[in-house]
Structure formats: C-alpha cells, structure tokens
Chain A
Amino acid sequence: MKEIILWLFGLEEEALSDPTTVAGIIASFVVIAACLAVFITLIVKGRYKINRFGNKVWQRTKLITQGTWFILTNSFMVGWFKGTIYQGKLKYMCVPGMNCYSCPGAWGACPIGAMQAIFDEFDATKSWYDPETHTLVQPPLYWVAFYIIGFIMIVGALCGRFICGLLCPFGWVQDLLYKIPVKKLKLPRDERRINASKHPGAVRFFLGLDRALRYFKYAFLVIMVIFLPLIVSANPWFCKYVCPSGMLIGGIPLMSMNESLAAQAASLTLLKMSILVSLLVISVFLYRPFCRYICPLGALYSLFNPISLYKYGIDDSKCNRCKGCHACANACPMGIDPVKTPNNPECIRCGTCNATCPQKAIHSGFKFKTADGSAIRTRKNKNN
C-alpha cells in the first residue's frame, strides 16, 4: 500500500518523515473524495439532463462542474502546501483542458505545453556548429507530435469542444468573471444574418472584428505552438510569451509560496502578467475572450465539433423558429445560432441553448431520436 501511494504521489520514502508532506497526501485523498461526491450527487439528482430544470439550475450545475473538475485535476495537495509541483508518473498523461503542468496541484500535463515540449526536443547526433552565425544548429527530434495529436484526436472525436464548456480551468475562470453584474458587450445574435441596414456602423464594425479575430486562434496554434518551436528556436513560445493559464494557476501560486522564484521575476513576468490581467478584465465584459480569439487548444478541438460522437442536434418538429423564436440564439454566449449550425466549430458545448429552449427542441448527447423515432438533425440548416 505504502509503495503504491509513494508511486502515485511521485515521492521517495524519506518524504514521509515530513509532516507537511503527509498532511498533503491525506488532504489530497480528502479533496478527491469530496470532488467525486459532488459529481455523484449531481448525476444522481439528474442535473446533467441539461434541459430538465431550466437554464438557471443548469448554469449553476455547469459552474460547479467546472470548479470541481479544476479542483479534482489539481488536487496534489503536497504541492499546494509546500510550493512545489507533482513529479510522479501520472504526468505522462495530459489533462484535456488548458491546465498548466506547473500548477502546484496539477496531476497531469497540459496538451499545448506538452506539444511544444516534444517539438523542443532536438537530435544531438545531428547537431552542428555554424561558423558563420556562431551558433549550434540543433534539428528537432520530432517533426510531428504524434503523442499529443493522438490524444487530441481521441478527446476531439469523443466530444469536440465539450471540454471547453465544462472541463477547462481557464474557461471556468472566464465564466466566473463574466458573472460580475456589469453592462456586457453583447453582440447581436448570429452575425451572418445581420441585416446591414438595421444595424449602426459601430455594431457592424465590432461584429466584423469579432468574426475576423476568431481566426487568430488558428494563427496562434500554427505560429506560436508549431512553427516557432520547430523552426526558430527550441522554446515553448506560446507558454513563454502568451499563455495566461500558466501565469494564473502556475506562476502566481508558485511565486507567492516560493521566495527564490519570486526573486527571479523580470520583464517577461511583467509581460505575462499584463496579458493575464488584460484578459481577465476583458472577460468581465466580453464572454471568454481567450477562448474566442487566442486559445490554440480550443482551435484544435473546434475542428472536431462537426464530427464528434457527442453532438448537438435540433428536433425541427418541435422547434418554434418558424414562429420567430430565437431564444437559443439570443442566449448563446458565443454568438452562435444553434438551430442553423448545431455543431458550429465555435460552439463550446456549454448547454445554455439547450437549457433555454422553451420547446426542449435542442438535444445533446451521443444518440438521439425525435418522439416519433426519426433522427434529430445535426447538420446545418440554411433555411432557418
């Protein structure tokens, strides 16, 4: 038993003579048990039947789920107590969300950090010295990160951006900030249907900007996560110059608990802090700015939304769109019209439309049928 615990926690036998470490181990088990109890309670109470209790209850369920998942996947309490990180074998595996592996409590690796770590490996046997530039040229060892691409394909094929809606810590933080009751920057529903003559120029400008900026996340993926680490220099470029999640759940707790780390803060720290703070402030007014415009992991998962096993679907026989209902499109925080594109790449599977629909016409899951047994529409409908 002792060996299993030591292996699981990535600790040596001597570590058990330290009372803080022992307290951390016990606390980890307590926290994990509490998190599992929360999930079981929500399942037993039927809270995951999204449209059963209405949107208010669903939003609460969603936030509790996101928070509990964050706590569960970051419940290595030894790290939180001692200002260190987990060093055991579970870190061979990735967690599905944007969860920095330098968070003191993290049990798993972040897929985006892990992908860059693979690209940063170099082939020492093929390294050579370039006398012209006086640099050591180190060709990458791996040109394709099969291990991480495979992981993302599995998660994506199972559930697409469901991870964004319910199982990502940084998504949760942005959701919490958006709860702050101030006037929101809400763009009119379904940008493609906007009638130019009915909307003032400023609205059209912001809609166009929003639409264009959404492609930036693919650029961040290609440039900062793939191209720069592979071609320019062996550095985790996205982690180093952009990622606010690393700063929030890794940098801030580690530096506040560890004086020697805090003493090393420099201009890079300031840059990353500024990015983090700006994104957090914008999140109060605009729903999930990081997920919309920057996140390379969301960009990857978005590619799987149209083909994943877990899908959204519309029961057109119940939907009141023909009577002018737009309750779902108006409620969607990502500005999507689910009746038109139920599996839009931008959809984070947050369930809001599903919980809002007065007709219970929106379905989500692996398999669904209408009341008369026919299949539910999962594809686009241009006529709506």
Chain B
Amino acid sequence: MKTESKFLRYGIPVIVLLIGAGFMIYGATDGEAFAVLKKAVAICMECIGLG
C-alpha cells in the first residue's frame, strides 16, 4: 500500500502554511490590506451589477 512519508503528509503543508503567513504579513505591511479594506467598505458597484 502506498502511504505518504511524514514529510509529505505534514512537512509540506506546514511549510506552505508558513510561507503563506509570511506572504500575508508582507502584503499587509506593504499596503495591500488597506487596499482590500478600502474596496470592501464601499458598496462595490461592479459586484452588484451597476458598475
């Protein structure tokens, strides 16, 4: 039976998770999070089919 090694099963996702956390922190400090907030707090006319 083919089973995954511990590294494939847990190591890879944990590495991906940590890289993701790093990306999020970098993006947030680079002003991306603010761009998201700015867009999300006003009614998005494109989303609701008026833009």
Contact = CB atoms under 8 A, between A and B. Distances in A.
Tell me, yes or no, whether A binds B: yes
Interface of A: 10, 85-89, 91-92, 94, 100-102, 108-109, 113-114, 117-118, 120-121, 141-142, 145-154, 156-158, 235-236, 239-240, 243, 246-247, 250-251, 254-255, 261, 264-266, 268-269, 271-273, 304, 307-309, 311, 316, 374-381
22 contacts: A85-B41, A92-B33, A100-B48, A118-B32, A142-B30, A145-B32, A146-B23, A146-B24, A147-B27, A150-B21, A152-B20, A157-B20, A235-B51, A246-B48, A246-B49, A247-B47, A250-B43, A255-B48, A264-B50, A272-B49, A273-B49, A307-B16
A152 B4 CA distance: 24
A311 B9 CA distance: 9
Contacts of A266: 50
Contacts of B25: 150
Q: By DSSP majority rule, is chain B's interface helix, strand, loop, or mixed?
A: helix
Given A117-B39, A147-B36, A307-B12, A261 B24 contact: no
Interface in B23-45: 23-28, 30-45
Nearest to B28: A147
A376 to B, nearest CB: 8
Q: Which of A118, A141, A243 has the most CB of B within 10 A?
A: A118
Contact of B48 (A88, A89, A121, A250): A250
In the A-B complex, the 6 residue pairs with the smallest Cβ-Cβ separation, listed nearest first, are A147-B27, A153-B20, A150-B23, A150-B24, A146-B27, A246-B47
A86 B41 contact: yes
A91 B36 contact: yes
Contact of B44 (A102, A145, A151): A102
Contacts of A376: 3
A154 B21 contact: yes
A92 B37 contact: yes
A268 B47 contact: no
Nearest to B48: A251
Nearest to A378: B4
A309 B4 CA distance: 12
Interface residues of B, number: 44
A91 B44 contact: no
Nearest to A317: B1
Given A118-B36, A158-B17, A381 B2 contact: yes
A49 B14 CA distance: 25
Contacts of A254: 43, 48
B40 A117 contact: yes
Contacts of B39: 101, 109, 113-114, 117, 120
A10 B41 CA distance: 10
A240 B23 contact: no
Given A142-B30, A268-B49, A250 B17 contact: no
Contact of A157 (B9, B14, B31, B36): B14
Contact of B20 (A94, A150, A265): A150
A164 to B, nearest CB: 18
Contacts of A108: 40
Given A86-B41, A120-B39, 19 more contacts: A85-B43, A109-B40, A114-B40, A117-B36, A118-B32, A118-B35, A142-B30, A146-B30, A147-B33, A149-B27, A150-B26, A153-B16, A156-B16, A158-B13, A268-B50, A271-B49, A309-B14, A378-B4, A381-B2
Contact of A114 (B36, B49, B50): B36
Contacts of A309: 10, 13-14, 17
Given A147-B24, A150-B21, A377-B3, A239 B44 contact: yes
B13 A147 contact: no
Nearest to A309: B13
A25 to B, nearest CB: 18
A264 to B, nearest CB: 5
Given A150-B26, A151-B20, A102 B3 contact: no
Given A146-B27, A151-B24, A307-B12, A89 B37 contact: yes
